Amino acid sequence: MALPVYASPLEKLWHYTYIVLCAGIFIFLIAPIIVIIPLSFNAEPYFTFTDKMIAFDPEGYSIRWYDKLITFGMVNPDAPRDMSFWIDFWQHAAWMQAAKNSVIIGVFATILAAGLGTIAALGLTRPEMPFRKQITAVLISPMIVPIIISATGMFFFYSGKWVPTVGSDGFEWGRLAGTYAGIILAHAALGIPFVIITVTATLSGFDQSLVRAAASLGANPRTAFFKVQMPLIMPGVISGGLFAFVTSFDEVVAVLFIADHTQQTIPRQMWNGIREQISPAILAVATLLVILSVSLLTVVELLRRRSERLRGMSPS
């Protein structure tokens, strides 16, 4: 990117303009995410920096919105902060319930997506796989089809009474809408394309002769897979799984369409909060979610570097 020595003044001017332009675009990318962090510590219910905040006056900052976040929905929000307060928080706080639901749904959807997706990716990358392109297109489609259309279809499908369940008087047909299983299945479907894409990419860089080497040394196919191939593609599986988890953790439209009110998730709670009366408490949630995404990004980056190192490619 260094400017060549033969650059004309006009080119120099353009070069520096270009640098400034890029800096501006980077600010556009990152500023909206950074700016909500200090704003979530605002002492006033405003969405802008107050004079006290700009002056770095400690009075301008407070953790009142985080406090509100914790106590919202609790039975005794004003109780002293002892053991019973935190039990109350664990059991009743609205955001805590939402977080629990999000984690439960996310974890099960991820396991389903990553498990089925990895096995399928193993098949898809085999050279003798029939109809590879068509099948890949179908498996990727949940990522391409607009979420509102997927959610509409799932709403009709999951509202149908075709699931065998045990009701109050014996066997009856139930529906998946309004159950955890329904949302988990829906989110797994939405997360699968990400697993397929990342694991297929990892497998395409995988040296098949390693498996053959293992076989020539006497390993049966199962041993060769678990001892040789699996550890090497694991980084791809984990980052695919993380993509699937984030997809589920951030998904609101399918939840709005097929969940009932007991399956409140974090994004749904945020959606309600934003639509009704946006308060800085939403910014406190947003800040926590940004911290979460930073840590997920770090994990994925580390995994990617590890995977490149294992494959003998160094990043520099």
Partner 1 sequence: MTDATTDISTGPLTTADGRPLKAALAASLAVRRRRAFMLVAPLFLFITISFIVPIGQMLFKSVYNDGFSKNAPALVQWFKEHPKGAEIDESAYAALHSDLILMREQKTAGEAGTRINYDISGTRSLFTGGARKAAKMEPPYKEAFIDADKDWGDPNVWRAMRSASNPFTIDFYLAANDLTRDESGAITAVDEGQAIYKKLMFRTLVLSIEITALCLLLGFPIAHLLATLPMRKAMLLMILVLLPFWTSLLVRTTSWMVLLQSQGVLNDIFVWLGIVDDEGRIQMIYNEMGTIIAMTHILLPFTILPLYSVMKTIPPSYVRAARSLGATSWTAFRRVYLPQTLPGIGAGGLLVFILAMGYYITPALVGGADGQMISNMIAFHMQKSLNWSLAAALAAQLLAVVLIFFWIYDKLVGIDKMKLG
Q: 10 to 29, contacts with partner 1 by CB under 8 A? A: 11, 14, 18, 21-22, 25-26, 28-29
Indicate the residue among 206 and 271 with the shorter CB distance to partner 1.
271
* Binding-site string for partner 1 from residue 171 to residue 190, where x marks contact by CB under 8 A and - marks none: --------------xx-xx-
**Residue of 55, 75, 87, 297 that binds partner 1 (CB under 8 A):** 297
The Cα–Cα gap between 34 and 287 comes to: 9
Under the binding rule (CB under 8 A), the answer on residue 32 touching partner 1 is: yes
Nearer to partner 1, 232 or 252 (CB): 252
| φ/ψ (deg, to 5) at 167 | -100, -165
Least CB distance from residue 99 to partner 1, whole Å? 13
| Secondary structure of the chain as H, E, C letters | CCCCCCCCHHHHHHHHHHHHHHHHHHHHHHHHHHHHHHHCCECCCCCCCCHHHHCCCHHHECCHHHHHHHHCCCCCCCCCCCHHHHHHHHHHCHHHHHHHHHHHHHHHHHHHHHHHHHHHHHHHCCCCCCCHHHHHHHHHHHHHCCHHHHHHHHHHHHHCCCEEEEECCEEEEECCCCCHHHHHHHHHHHHHHHHHHHHHHHHHCCCCHHHHHHHHCCCCHHHHHHHHHHHHHHHHHHHHHHHHHHHHHCCCHHHHHHCCCCCCCHHHHHHHHHHHCCCHHHHHHHHHHHHHHHHHHHHHHHHHHHHHHHCCCCCC
Told to check if 261 binds partner 1 by CB under 8 A, we report: no
Compare residues 74 and 284 and give the one whose CB is closer to partner 1. Answer: 284
Among 65, 108, 243, 245, binds partner 1 (CB under 8 A): 243
Judged by CB under 8 A, the residue of 275, 276, 277, 312 near partner 1 is 275
Check binding of 239 to partner 1 (CB under 8 A). Answer: yes
Site for partner 1 in 43-62 (CB under 8 A): 46-49
Q: How many binding residues for partner 1 (CB under 8 A)? A: 96
C-alpha distances in Å from residue 236, one per residue of 188, 194, 306, 316: 17, 11, 10, 20
Give the distance, in angstroms, between the CA of residue 154 and the centroid of all CA atoms in the same chain: 21
Interacting residue with partner 1 among 98, 105, 238, 246 (CB under 8 A): 246
Give the CA count within 13 Å in the CB-facing half-sphere of 305: 7
Segment 145 to 174, residues that bind partner 1, using CB under 8 A: 145-150, 152-158, 160
For partner 1, the binding residues in 110-139 under the rule CB under 8 A are 116-117, 119-120, 122-124, 126, 128-130, 132-133, 135-139
Contact segment (CB under 8 A) with partner 1 among 42-50, 71-79, 87-95, 163-171 equals 42-50
Stretch touching partner 1 by CB under 8 A, among 63-71, 209-217, 226-234, 271-279: 271-279
In this complex, which beta carbon is closest to partner 1, that of residue 21 or of residue 217? 21
- Residue whose CB is less far from partner 1, 14 or 180: 14
Rule CB under 8 A: is residue 290 a binding residue for partner 1?
yes
Q: Which of residues 54-113 bind partner 1 (CB under 8 A)?
A: none
Contact present, 148 and 253 (Cβ < 8 Å)? yes
User: Residue 232 or residue 255: which is nearer to partner 1 going by CB?
Assistant: 255
Minimum Å gap between C-beta 1 and partner 1 is: 5
